[in-house]
Amino acid sequence: MSARLIESLATTEPLADLFCDESVLSAMLEFEVALSRAEGRVGVIPKAAADAIAAAAKVDKFDIAALSRATLRAGTPAIPLVKTLTGAVLKKDPDAARFVHWGATSQDVADSAISLLLKQAEPILIGDLELLENSLTRLAKEHQASVMLGRTLLQAAPPVTLGLKSAGWLGSIRRVGYTLREAFTHATVLQFGGASGTLAFLGDKGIAVGKALAKELGLALPEAPWHTHRDRWATLVCVCGVLTGSLGKMARDISLLMQNEIDEAAEPGGEGRGGSSTMPQKRNPIACSLALAAAYRVPGLVSSYLSAMVQEHERAVGGWQAEWPILSGVVQSTGLALASMAEVTGRLAVNPKAMRANIERTNGAIFAERAMMLLGSNLGRDAAHKMLQAASERSAAENRHLADVLGEIPEITAYLGRETLQQLEIPENYLGSADKFRKALLSKSSKPKKP
């Protein structure tokens, strides 16, 4: 794994590899090679020069540590990169060396390299997103009739189903997932504008070179250079923030369901997964913890990125330089949260018996609302509410079922017969439109429909 130890809880192995030093350097060199080939094709530089540049642009020929130190002094990785590449070409072909980085500016290299990395990150994130959507769809179907406590303000409330709960998670993930796909499409674009964003250095060949360069790199060609217009990447960052929030909500729910006294669900364990250094019996919600950590971390990064959008004129002082670690951190954290929750939902252990037992443990208190509404049409809502509140307090104090207590109150039995009270605490009889909502959430495509 390429991640540094300090980042090992903030990324996945594929994303750590993608944003490692060698990969970032490779993306910048890919830009330089593609630029020379595009200019050779358009006739701006000799094709032989493009071949010489491509031959010299090898990652293993660069001292990454030295490049990093030089970047800190230059304020951009492109300056020491171009200097080193030019030197390497000079040794083999002095004539070709003068065409390295021809007509481009430092930010063209840096931004296009990140676009290339984002293009590679997209299938990693979308792959885990699709796994997660499939797992949630399966859970929503398999547990359509698995009744469980609803919980409001962390307290027991009228019943729901795990099918509806899973479908709710799915709906949120699908909605933001569509936006994520769209955001990636807009974010993976070429940056090529030269010194002031006009490509004046290339004369009337600038646009032709840009088109050829975009084709070489497999990136979309924007209407114009966007050196200080960071809205595309900001949109992607914000969408990642919303997605990690949705994933964090799901992780919070599941981790709470994993509490020993609840025991309604559990994420998959395995060798080295979920244990404790001191307590052998523990099965900790590790994947949920990682998703929650990402959900805590990403909002601050989103805020930092948005702050850095205020960039001056045609080239920024500080704003652009702030972006690399923020953007890579957001993408990696989002990817970690996605991978973690795809793992959790792919093999989520569900305990319907515990769900039923937890409902029973309330002694029918969660059905006080149902009893109140049955009485309300005869006694009025306020009077019925007061009666049920008093009955609920008595039920709790005496550790008896609410229906039994209600059956001893004449003012209530005058309107609620024995059969009604016997049916009162059956959770399947008080699910309302739960299954219709579940089906509606499942029927939606990944692309939201206009209301």
Cα 365 to chain centroid, rounded: 38
Cα–Cα distance between 444 and 433 in angstroms, integer?
17
Task: Kindly state the greatest CA–CA separation across the chain.
Answer: 104
Q: Which of 419, 425, 417 is nearest to 395 (CA)?
A: 425
* Candidate list 175, 315, 356, 394, residue with the active-site label: 315
CA-CA-CA-CA torsion sign (262, 267, 271, 277) = negative
CA-derived radius of gyration, the chain: 30
Provide the 3-class DSSP secondary structure of residue 103. Answer: coil
Cα–Cα distance between 312 and 319 in angstroms, integer?
9
Cα–Cα distance between 312 and 371 in angstroms, integer?
64
Cα–Cα distance between 68 and 327 in angstroms, integer?
18
Phi and psi at residue 349, to the nearest 5°: -85, 125
Q: Is residue 27 exposed (0-12), middle (13-18) or buried (19+ Cβ within 10 Å)?
A: buried
Cα–Cα distance between 347 and 363 in angstroms, integer?
32
CA-CA-CA-CA torsion sign (333, 339, 341, 344) = negative
Cβ-Cβ contacts under 8 Å for 438 (sequence gap 6 or more): 140, 144, 161, 163, 164, 167
How distant, in Å, are the alpha carbons of 109, 121, 190, 195 from that of 45? 18, 33, 20, 19
For the question of residue 276 being annotated catalytic, the response is yes
DSSP state of 450: P
Cα–Cα distance between 449 and 353 in angstroms, integer?
38
Phi and psi at residue 155, to the nearest 5°: -110, 155
For the question of residue 315 being annotated catalytic, the response is yes
Q: Which of 156, 160, 154, 165 is nearest to 361 (CA)?
A: 156
* Candidate list 276, 307, 377, 433, residue with the active-site label: 276
Element (H or E) spanning 152, and its range?
Answer: strand 147-152
Structure tokens at 197: 């964003």
Cα–Cα distance between 118 and 19 in angstroms, integer?
10
Catalytic residues: 276, 315
